[in-house]
Structure 1
């Protein structure tokens, strides 16, 4: 309701402005020329482009006047040490197409315009448009074609690459930013991206870490690219996080990769390493035929929903002795091999179990990122992959924030379509209760940070 009222208010204000111009007669001649077909509103050399050209050139002339100290045509211009010296032509790309500008010059060459800086070939938010398109998953080639076909602006692939590369400094600063000394929970997982390596395109693992701080707020801690998802590289990731300030982590949730727990404990020896239950079930079902999947999934539920480890062990033994268990020995073996890393969460109450039993936070993020990168083919380098993944995360969160802003102020109970935060800045559900249970389980380690 409030959104509708705000839109109506904006429409009234815009209409009032137009009506004021119409009442003054300022638009009469323009309307006549439009009706006669002498003026086009959009497209190349249309009215919008001409207004941008006139506005920029007027602003440049005003800048030169301020620089010289006198108005154009001033009879006392000869008393000033510097003077106007014609203009030079320059084509700039804008969000509505290319515009030809006459850039004014001065006699001694000391004039440096701010409105259209020297060397700049783009104005009017075109850079932001290109970065937004890139973050949405479009390739450099796609962006080049899109700009030509929609707004008639020709921007070379090299220029587009340079524009997107300008965010690399921001990515590096984000990747190296200091972190808090203590995170109750950290999730670690990876997704596969295709990256050119010399003459070949290889599958590489993009490693992601998400931390939950003391306020229950989730943060993407970093993105790292490696040829494969290995325990040795994860050990390097943990060491990198420690070097940025993380001194202690209570619980690290990860998949069942061999050597993963040892890699984590090499950096944070007191941490509890929890194998992601969703990954474990996925591995256990890998060789199960389609007809038996539902039945086995139901039979496994008592194991990971057991009240404690003894009850879970009894449920596993019961499943192993059943007809389904005997027909699927691999399913039993997967749970047995992962038992020591699967059972830690069973020692906690239900509220805390929901926080630590799975890496679904990263899984949800990876699902959205895969939708963006699936049409790209491959990345030219590891840096390009990290850059896009970072931009994509920012773009997704910004879009969701805009959608939520549109629905702000709706009455309580009204239907809302905007999605919450994906990961960055998301508040963990029922965090206060989970934190209270963590404080009971780890009183000495968590108390200094409360």
Structure 2
């Protein structure tokens, strides 16, 4: 049996055993007492904590018997040097409420339980629940209140903080993991977060980078909270990516980030920085009246759908003649971004569809905003990175579970969403890669 099959098989066995007991009528009296309110399911005196207590204490006694070399009450007990010596009370916090355990002891003090280690005050499942609640956007104090209100478990702010902090090393390892030597395309976008800085709460930009590898698979490369302005910040980001193994990037698609082109050129001299066309369209229509939006959007299309730079320039001049008087901001937006927009026009349609927008990462940011909107502010930059990383993992795991439930169904009956970003494959990537190989043969071919 594989590791992947094991937990599922165990869970199925447990469900089958419960179903068999219920079908046999052995639980009818218990169900009646539950229906009458005489037995609670969770909480200090709940049925489930009681079952956990019985199971753990039975397991601990079995461990002690194995340690001593004989079972409780065995006639040969007197032949052994070590023996049982009562028990020590301990309260264990769990997902279903506190469980009061009697942990057995031995006279020589050499017994070290594995099921519930010495010093342990929580079941592993509770830690996972706390991390999951944190990843869902709850603050530490909210989690403490939630656990008390729902399962009656009392945990201090400091304890919950320590549990969450334990994943810090995992986050750090992810942020420092080695990367591929070449990413044909990297998307950059940001989400605004509130972070405490000294005695003030300030807005900071948490930038996410998503790279497309040679197989067309997207990966979140890292998260960086902007602590300095412009070129200095982006120089540190590029240095981090280069130090982790990226030797070349063909195209970086972003939203006119100050200082990024200079930092890119200093790190990967041959890389092209491409302004996201969708961002450019949105920016140019920011002050367009509602009644004119459809007409203006239609008039902009010939610019970014042009066959080449000359055709795009002619389309922009035509747009200016038609709408420049009423909406000068729309025209100035395109002219200001022209140098970083025009590289897009040199690529064929298959490749344009890959690089014209950062929508993939924007979709991720939309989900992240929903998670952090009720948090107020973060205590520091590290907390921002930690939560965003956890949230990305949670989003992808949730989608994976939904897909797993629908496995085996006909395609027209599957409604579960695909991957949001991490692990997603770019549509028609093979055609796009073929175009990249033509445009950049010396840089692409060594990696094919």
Category of TM-score, reference length = shorter chain: over 0.9
Unpaired runs of 5+ in structure 2? 1-9
C-alpha contact (below 8 Å) 2:189/2:254 kept by paired residues: yes
**Quick check: 65-74 or 430-439, which moved more?**
65-74
Q: Deviations over 1:360-397 (max 9, x none)?
A: 12111111111100100001111111100000000000
C-alpha contact (below 8 Å) 2:234/2:259 kept by paired residues: no
Match of residue 63 from structure 2: 63
C-alpha contact (below 8 Å) 1:208/1:223 kept by paired residues: yes
**Could you tell me the TM-score, scaled by structure 2's length?**
0.92
How many pairs does the alignment contain? Answer: 440
Match of residue 409 from structure 1: 408
Q: Tell me which of 409, 423, 428 is aligned to 1:430.
A: 428
Q: Deviations over 1:255-314 (max 9, x none)?
A: 113332112111110011111112222222233344433322221111011111111000
Q: Deviations over 1:187-225 (max 9, x none)?
A: 112111111112111111111110000000000000011
Q: CA deviation at 1:431?
A: 0.5
CA–CA separation in structure 2 for the residues paired with 1:193 and 1:36: 49
C-alpha contact (below 8 Å) 1:179/1:245 kept by paired residues: yes
C-alpha contact (below 8 Å) 1:203/1:227 kept by paired residues: no
CA–CA separation in structure 2 for the residues paired with 1:329 and 1:446: 41
Unpaired runs of 5+ in structure 1? 1-9
* Matched ranges for 1:345-424 at <5 A: 345-412=344-411, 414-424=412-422
The structure-2 alpha-carbon separation of the partners of 1:46 and 1:268, relative to structure 1 and needing over 3 Å to count, comes to same
Match of residue 231 from structure 1: 231
Match of residue 218 from structure 1: 218
CA–CA separation in structure 2 for the residues paired with 1:345 and 1:205: 26
C-alpha contact (below 8 Å) 2:354/2:426 kept by paired residues: yes
Match of residue 200 from structure 1: 200
* Matched ranges for 1:317-332 at <5 A: 317-322=317-322, 324-332=323-331
**Cα RMSD for the two superposed structures:** 2.4
Q: CA deviation at 1:164?
A: 1.0
C-alpha contact (below 8 Å) 1:219/1:423 kept by paired residues: yes
CA–CA separation in structure 2 for the residues paired with 1:397 and 1:114: 33
Q: CA deviation at 1:20?
A: 4.8
Q: Deviations over 1:384-421 (max 9, x none)?
A: 11100000000000000011111111123x23221111
C-alpha contact (below 8 Å) 1:85/1:107 kept by paired residues: yes
* Matched ranges for 1:40-51 at <5 A: 40-51=40-51
Q: CA deviation at 1:48?
A: 1.7
C-alpha contact (below 8 Å) 1:207/1:229 kept by paired residues: no
**Quick check: 95-104 or 117-126, which moved more?**
117-126
The structure-2 alpha-carbon separation of the partners of 1:124 and 1:27, relative to structure 1 and needing over 3 Å to count, comes to farther
**Quick check: 275-284 or 206-215, which moved more?**
275-284
* Matched ranges for 1:159-170 at <5 A: 159-170=159-170
Match of residue 6 from structure 2: none
The structure-2 alpha-carbon separation of the partners of 1:25 and 1:407, relative to structure 1 and needing over 3 Å to count, comes to closer
